[in-house]
């Protein structure tokens, strides 16, 4: 899960819209707070259970679907005026909780003098009030990577100001529940503020990206064109042994042959698993191609079997899955009838016709003797209606 906050000034500009879209697409954000007042979330990954809105703070209770975990999230946009920020500190006290709580945003104040690079130092009382608020709410900075100074006035070098105004905070409950959580401050791009990205796995992904180049160079150095290296080692060994044939007692050539044999043996031993791995990869790729072809043909056959449209008995054309289904159902309902109860028979009317007598009933249900069966079979045989296998059947009846 990834939570982000970004104070991007002038968001009405179309260029800023494009940058935010690229930011969302690259980082796969689940929750994004665009300061000052906008918060977006992905409903397929998270659910907002509750919401509290204050002047400089929006507080949520968030449920993450995949991990089935719940935590509190506060997005902050602190005012420039110190008196107005006091209302922000009061809002923090109102929503403070011992449950997992993550806070991120632009606080417009620093925690220490080292967090501001300028000709004018930060106001001491502002830092004291900020730190007192965090201490009373049991909040502290989450481990973060990326740029240190998250805001700049983008002026000339003489009047340039750098400050850490944006930060990610967490209480002990959040750190205990998400021990691998990290924050990352990216470059500001077109904005004067850095974007904040918090994700439990973000640091791990960044470390993987940082070692990608080293792993690529290592692969090129030790495994690239490996079969060519094996062949070169073999050729060097053959060349040395040819020289040794002309000078069989040369200590230099004997020692060189031993080293070349060891090198060729080592490379040959490594070549087999590499080739096996490549063969497995090739098989998997071929299997994927076959599976892709199979599923494509299956989808094509399924598509061909779909009834896209049908005319009913009134000549009306029905198109679409549900319309065609309803047309078929209506046709067979009209053909076979409905589930309404049928009318009962008039027993008096039935009794007026020919009725089977009691003696006829006894004759119909009487037991048939084997002799009668044989007589019937012989009659069929004389009429020519009994085929050749019927004669075997006749012998069975005779035995009866």
Shortest CA distance to 189 belongs to which of 128, 146, 220? 146
Instruction: Select the highest-mean-pLDDT range: 30-39, 219-228, 324-333.
Output: 324-333
Largest CA distance in the chain: 129
Question: What count of residues does the chain have?
Answer: 400
- Band (pLDDT 50/70/90 cuts) for residue 399 is very low
Q: 41-65, pLDDT tens digit by residue?
A: 888 888 988 888 888 898 989 998 8
pLDDT given for residue 395 in this prediction: 47
CA R_g for the chain: 43
pLDDT given for residue 181 in this prediction: 82
Q: 338-363, pLDDT tens digit by residue?
A: 666 666 767 777 677 777 888 888 88
- Band (pLDDT 50/70/90 cuts) for residue 95 is very high
Shortest CA distance to 240 belongs to which of 263, 223, 221? 263
- Band (pLDDT 50/70/90 cuts) for residue 400 is very low
Q: Please tell me the distance from the alpha carbon of residue 104 to that of residue 33, in angstroms, as a whole number.
A: 9
pLDDT given for residue 388 in this prediction: 46
The CA-atom distances, in angstroms, between 383 and each of 378, 392, 398 are 9, 17, 19
pLDDT given for residue 172 in this prediction: 92
Q: 283-339, pLDDT tens digit by residue?
A: 777 776 767 777 777 766 776 666 777 888 888 888 777 888 888 888 888 888 766
Q: 194-220, pLDDT tens digit by residue?
A: 887 766 555 455 566 667 778 888 877
The CA-atom distances, in angstroms, between 229 and each of 218, 345, 398 are 15, 96, 90
Who's near 192: CB < 8 A, 6+ residues apart? 9, 151, 152, 153, 154
Shortest CA distance to 41 belongs to which of 88, 73, 78? 73
Order of all β-strands in the sheet with 116-117:
116-117, 162-163, 151-152
Q: Please tell me the distance from the alpha carbon of residue 89 to that of residue 56, in angstroms, as a whole number.
A: 10
The predicted model scores a pTM of 0.49
CB distance 168 to 104 below 8 Å: yes
pLDDT given for residue 132 in this prediction: 95
**Does 16 have pLDDT greater than 70?**
no
CB-neighbour burial class of residue 165 (10 A; exposed 0-12, middle 13-18, buried 19+)? buried
- Band (pLDDT 50/70/90 cuts) for residue 396 is very low
Over residues 18-32, the mean pLDDT reads 72
The phi, psi pair for 70, rounded to 5°, reads -130, 135
The phi, psi pair for 167, rounded to 5°, reads -155, 165
pLDDT given for residue 86 in this prediction: 93
pLDDT given for residue 160 in this prediction: 93
Helix axes 202-210, 212-222, angle to 10 degrees: 40
Average pLDDT, rounded, for the chain:
81
């Amino acid at each position: 899960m990834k939570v982000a906050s970004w104070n991007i000034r002038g968001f009405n500009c179309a260029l800023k819209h494009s940058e935010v879209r690229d930011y969302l697409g690259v980082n796969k954000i689940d929750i994004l707070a665009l300061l000052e007042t906008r918060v977006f979330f992905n409903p397929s990954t998270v659910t907002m259970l509750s919401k509290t809105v204050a002047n400089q703070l929006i507080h949520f209770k968030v449920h993450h679907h995949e991990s089935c975990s719940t935590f509190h999230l506060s997005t902050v946009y602190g005012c420039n005026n110190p008196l107005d920020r006091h209302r922000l500190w009061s809002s923090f006290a109102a929503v403070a909780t011992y449950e997992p709580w993550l806070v991120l945003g632009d606080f417009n104040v620093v925690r220490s003098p080292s967090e501001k690079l300028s000709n004018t130092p930060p106001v001491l009382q502002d830092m004291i009030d900020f730190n007192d608020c965090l201490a009373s709410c049991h909040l502290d900075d989450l481990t973060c990577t990326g740029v240190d100074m998250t805001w700049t006035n983008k002026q000339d070098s003489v009047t340039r100001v750098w400050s850490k105004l944006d930060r990610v905070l967490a209480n002990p409950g959040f750190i205990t529940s998400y021990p691998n959580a990290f924050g990352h401050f990216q470059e500001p791009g077109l904005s004067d503020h850095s974007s904040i990205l918090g994700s439990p796995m973000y640091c791990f992904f960044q470390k993987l990206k940082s070692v990608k180049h080293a792993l690529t160079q290592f692969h090129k150095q030790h495994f690239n064109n490996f079969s060519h290296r094996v062949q070169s080692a073999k050729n060097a060994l053959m060349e040395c042994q040819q020289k040794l044939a002309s000078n069989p007692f040369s200590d230099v050539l004997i020692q060189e042959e031993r080293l070349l044999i060891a090198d060729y043996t080592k490379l040959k031993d490594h070549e087999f698993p590499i080739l096996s791995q490549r063969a497995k990869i090739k098989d998997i790729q071929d299997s994927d191609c076959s599976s892709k072809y199979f599923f494509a043909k299956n989808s094509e056959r399924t598509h061909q079997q779909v009834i896209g449209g049908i005319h009913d008995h009134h000549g009306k054309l029905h198109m679409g899955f549900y319309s065609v289904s309803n047309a078929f159902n209506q046709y067979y309902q009209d053909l076979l009838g409905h589930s309404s109860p049928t009318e009962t028979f008039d027993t008096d009317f039935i009794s007026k016709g020919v009725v089977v007598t009691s003696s006829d009933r006894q004759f119909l249900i009487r037991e048939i003797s084997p002799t009668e069966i044989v007589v019937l079979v012989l009659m069929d045989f004389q009429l020519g209606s009994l085929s050749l296998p019927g004669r075997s059947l006749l012998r069975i009846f005779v035995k009866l």
